[in-house]
Amino acid sequence: MRAWFLSISAEHRSTAADAYRLLQTVLRAAVTDGLIAKTPATVKGAGTIRAAERPTASIAEVTAAAATVPERWQVAILLAAWCQLRRGEVLGLQRQHIDLLHGTVTIEHALTTEGIGAPKTDAGRRTLSIPPTCYRRWRGTWSASRARRSTPGSSSSLNGTPPTPRALDYIWCTARKKIGRQDLHLHDLRHSGLTWAAATGATTAELMHRGGHASPTTALRYQHATADRDKALAEALASLAEAPVRLRREAATN
């Protein structure tokens, strides 16, 4: 069993882990049915795989990337980062999902390989506040077009033509090259936004809502950002402690 697993995982670690988990399930069922005494699938850690940490974009990089694309596509990039939307959620948006009065976006559709449909989980249905600094940049564009209701899939398109995943991917690939971040995938905008949210001190529940996660497991990945935030808080506390000393020195000098 160990030799078989190692022969595959040497070049295809993810495939080996998937195959091992399937075989492990089959063998456990065989034990339950009394066909074998015990399972030989006991290779420690064989069924688990830890994905490499995805790169994170800075706020300045996302802003620069959005500025390089045509106006009709800027909304897609900004929503992916600042509202942490998945690609399918961005492509599934309709104009009526943007509340111009309250500055919110509602996710109730997503584009999949089968077409426009509801999010996979109830957690995927959510209404999010758009950060004001982001919202003000393109509010005028949406205001001018809000009267023209669209069909599912028209998303951020202002001319009524539904954007496609290939078109959005092309736009993003062009943008990331212009800012020198070829390592950033489109999904990394969502990852970056959730990392920024965690850095503000967002709770696990808040991150789950923001990202549309049904389980806290995924949201917990972004809590590592709170370590940087904690350091910033410690420095702020230190400045409070130093303030009286600084005032005494200034008083003595005067």
- Catalytic site positions: 86, 187, 190, 213, 222
Residue partners of 172: CB distance under 8 A and separation at least 6: 65, 77, 186
Contact indicator for 189, 175 with CB cutoff of 8 Å = no
DSSP 133-167: HHHHHHHHHHHHHTTS---TT-TT-SSSPPP-HHH
What angle, rounded to 10 degrees, do the helices at 187-199 and 71-82 form? Answer: 50
* Beta strands 126-129; 115-117: pairing state: unpaired
Q: How many CA atoms lie within 13 A of 36 on its CB side?
A: 11
First to last CA, the chain: 80
Residue 131 CB coordination number (10 Å): 15
Output the six-digit token pair for 206: 């808040």
Distance CA 218, CA 207 (A): 9
Block residue for tokens 């795989």: 49
Contact indicator for 105, 83 with CB cutoff of 8 Å = yes
Query: Which region, left, alpha or beta, applies to residue 104 given φ > 0 means left and ψ of -120 to 50 means alpha?
Result: beta
